[in-house]
A and B are shown apart, each in its own frame.
Chain A
Amino acid sequence: MDLISLYPTWYEPGVGSGWVVGIIATFHVLASHTSVGAALLFAYLSHRAYKEDRDDLLDFVKKYGLFLMVFTYVAGSITGPGIWYSTTVASPNGIGALIHSFVWKWATEWVFFVIEVVGVYMIVYLVGKVDKKTHMKISVIFGAASLATMIIIVGILSFMMMPGKEAWFEDGGYLNGFYGTNTFIQTGMRMAFMFTMTAIVGGIVVASIKDPAFKKEMTRKLGWLGIISTLVGAALFQWYLTSVPSQALLVMENRLPDYFGPSILIVLAGTLSYFIITMLQPKLLVAGFAGFMTVTFLVAGLWPEETARESMRKPWVAGQYVYSNQVIGRDVPGMDIKSQLPIIEKVGILKAHPFTPDHLKEVNAGNQIQAGEFIAMTYCSNCHSPSETGIRPLHRYFPQDITQERMESYVRGVLTTGNIAYMPKMPMIESEVQSISAYLVLNKQGGQPAVTAAIQSEIADRERALVKTVADDNVALLPSLQENK
């Protein structure tokens, strides 16, 4: 059997499927990291509240908890599976690789997640209704369960960049894939940033405190939490960079825009300034300002960070063995996984793909553009939009006057051989090289309207040919029918 595990392609022309995943994931990071950080903060504040017999701290926990329930838990608990949904449609084999390796880890995380969600309801609704010792126990269990969800998921996120240990490729074993230097450093880095987010989002709740003295106290508490965690997080990010593959650093240096580095520094400086200003002048901390800072951190801080993490993995999407275009690009003996490249090299991508329509399995003059589009969608569209808009549009990579011959040379010499460091190797048989080249030239020179027109023309020709074949067959059958009469 020459078929490989490739699914249909979802093509989103507006922003690209990758960005859809990115938008949902970034929002989820904000919600989930804030929730975990707040859970630990709640445990600390509850401890202080009971030790010092202070109702105002408990009231703050209740208010912040209710705020989290409505915003971050609602959005966070939906965008969590939402990442699954979006990756399922944008990168089914990528998410499949993670799930098939770490299903029990995810199941374990789910158990802690259930405890976490039950915990937030108990924290909020049982304040003042159960004795202090019990409420404190709930706070600690809630905080520990929240942290456990993060630690488990970071192992899986780390695997997306690279398996924990190189031995995983040869020996398998999910712990080899799960734990590694990168996992632990990333856990520390995320914990630091989660406290930063807790401090920033917490500002929205602090803004509503009426008592100036208490407001000042909470502003300072959150301010110090934010300053320390931001500095620690920034330092850990530098350490994190030493734990990623050299290939990832190379991609980061070459592929990320020039403004990436300075913009991260500006966000860090802005965040620190925000904490310092509000600590000095708590009255400046109003809900609008804190909300604005939350959105700023989301858009200018988290978004570039998530984009960088996604870019650095290229050409892989999971475990350094699943390409971003869903093809398995290397052997993993420890998991009995074989590279799919030899099969594609032998039969071509059209015959290897289970969803290739029958009339496109062989390229001919009557289906060249349709087949080319199918190949481009399969191989390229996850990272390069074939439209004018979207993620890294294909047409930008070629000169206007490019010819079929030059395009074929490029496809043959670069794409099928995998000669670009951050691009997958994309094997094609000769007829497929010609087909995708014809499509790319047309896409470059005429854009999507020209491609659509060419495909419609090919379809019309095919239908005409089918009608003629049926008619010819009927004519051929006529004599025998007359004889039977």
Chain B
Amino acid sequence: MDAAQIAEVTQMMYALRNPAGVPTYPIIFVGLGVLTFALHILFVQLMLGTSAITIFGSFSNNPYWRRLAAAMLEIAKVSVSVAIVVGVAPLLFVQVVYDPHWYTSNVLSAKWVIGFIVILILAYWAMYFYYFQNSKNKDKTLTPKSRWSMILSLALMLVVGFIMHSLTSQMLHPELWKTWYMQNNSLDYSGSTLHAYNLWRFAFFISMAVPVAGAMLVTYRRFKMVRADADQAYLSWAANLGKTWIKVGSVISALLYVAWMMTLPQTAGDFATSFWGIAGGVAVISYAVWAQIRLKGEAKFCSYMALPMALVIGLVVAISREMLRYGILNDFFNYNFMDYK
């Protein structure tokens, strides 16, 4: 892109700002957006991870897996609810500071935006359907009914995740917005296409469900073990599984993070090798190191730290993600969100 083209895109983004301005310093909204996004994505990952455990356990003949599947379904149900509720906050804050980008991205894929709502409701109801089909069964080691509905639920959750990923990716390509609005030389008012995505980025955020679910397993054991009637062998098995998931999952996620950084658009410049670009990946891999050191043996007391640690790791990644957005919009397109007043 030459300077004139960049200037034209910058002018467009400034024009799209709401004339009402923002009611306080934009950095406050960005900060709140990052913090609440970290909370939101933690519960999204928890919901995906525990759903996956529920499905895997429902197909396993191992009684431990069956019990674990039933227990994690309870976590999945609540996690979906919390993920939605907490997700409202970053949605609000992004609309204050990044409204030109968010609104444009959404309108250009409007059908998917509306589809998001319907698909998410169906996904949630499918999970509840599975729950009601099996909740009255006291013996949690029996083969669950209607396993298809839990698979459907997880599949639909991944679809809504991909829609959100695509909308967020589209925000970062203001240089392509007008091109996307034109399809086959004619204006496309249908909003029927998802125009941008980065599978590595999507895979990274989804893969974080593995270490986060691992953290949940460790926490589960810590919470249940204090009961006099607790099955310590089962709980230890679950916790060991969780520790493995944290370590292996963090390594997989870190690799996917590197792949994401290697496939950033040119407009991101040298973000991948910048402080925040590296910090995100280091944070993810450090979760494996932390688990190796702090969750050794019984680890009764720091077991509860597994989930807060996941939140801290997620927060670093959320900051890194925000810095990437800032880098593209500010450094490449000269769009300074700090002067939105």
Contacts and interface: CB of A to CB of B under 8 A. Distances in A.
A96 interface: yes
Nearest to A111: B89
B128 A74 contact: yes
Contacts of B15: 1, 3-5, 354
A114 B95 contact: no
B96 A88 contact: no
Contacts of B50: none
B92 A7 contact: no
B22 A88 contact: no
A101 B107 contact: no
B89 to A, nearest CB: 6
A316 interface: no
Interface in B38-54: none
26 contacts: A3-B12, A8-B177, A9-B189, A10-B110, A11-B189, A78-B84, A79-B117, A81-B117, A82-B117, A84-B91, A88-B95, A88-B103, A89-B107, A99-B95, A99-B99, A100-B20, A100-B21, A100-B99, A107-B89, A107-B92, A114-B86, A335-B19, A335-B20, A337-B19, A374-B187, A459-B185
Report whether over half of chain A's contact residues are helix, strand or loop; otherwise say mixed: helix
B85 interface: yes
A193 interface: no
A81 to B, nearest CB: 5
Interface of B: 11-12, 14-23, 29, 32, 78, 81-82, 84-89, 91-93, 95-96, 99-100, 102-104, 106-108, 110-111, 113-114, 116-117, 120-121, 124-125, 128, 177-178, 181-182, 185-187, 189-191
A212 B146 CA distance: 34
Interface in A51-110: 70, 73-75, 77-82, 84-86, 88-90, 92-93, 95-97, 99-101, 103-104, 106-107, 110
B89 A110 contact: yes
Given A70-B128, A99-B99, A459-B186, A77 B107 contact: no
A93 B18 contact: yes
Contacts of A24: 114, 117
Given A70-B125, A99-B99, 11 more contacts: A10-B189, A70-B128, A74-B128, A78-B124, A81-B88, A81-B91, A82-B117, A92-B106, A104-B23, A335-B20, A335-B21
B114 A81 contact: no
A253 interface: no
A5 B18 contact: yes
B23 A88 contact: no
A186 to B, nearest CB: 22
B91 to A, nearest CB: 6
B23 A100 contact: yes
B107 A88 contact: yes
A217 interface: no
Contacts of A103: 22-23, 29, 92-93, 96
Contacts of B189: 8-11, 377, 381
B20 A463 contact: no
Contacts of B107: 7-10, 88-89, 92
Nearest to A73: B81
Interface in A1-50: 1, 3-12, 17, 20, 24
B38 to A, nearest CB: 15
A117 interface: yes
B52 to A, nearest CB: 21
Contacts of A17: 110
A82 B115 CA distance: 10
A269 B187 CA distance: 49
Contact of A81 (B87, B103, B111): B87
Contacts of A455: 186
A174 B20 CA distance: 11
A86 B117 contact: yes
A357 interface: yes
A117 B87 CA distance: 13
B104 A80 contact: no
Contacts of A93: 18
A101 B92 CA distance: 12
A7 B113 CA distance: 16
A101 B191 CA distance: 28
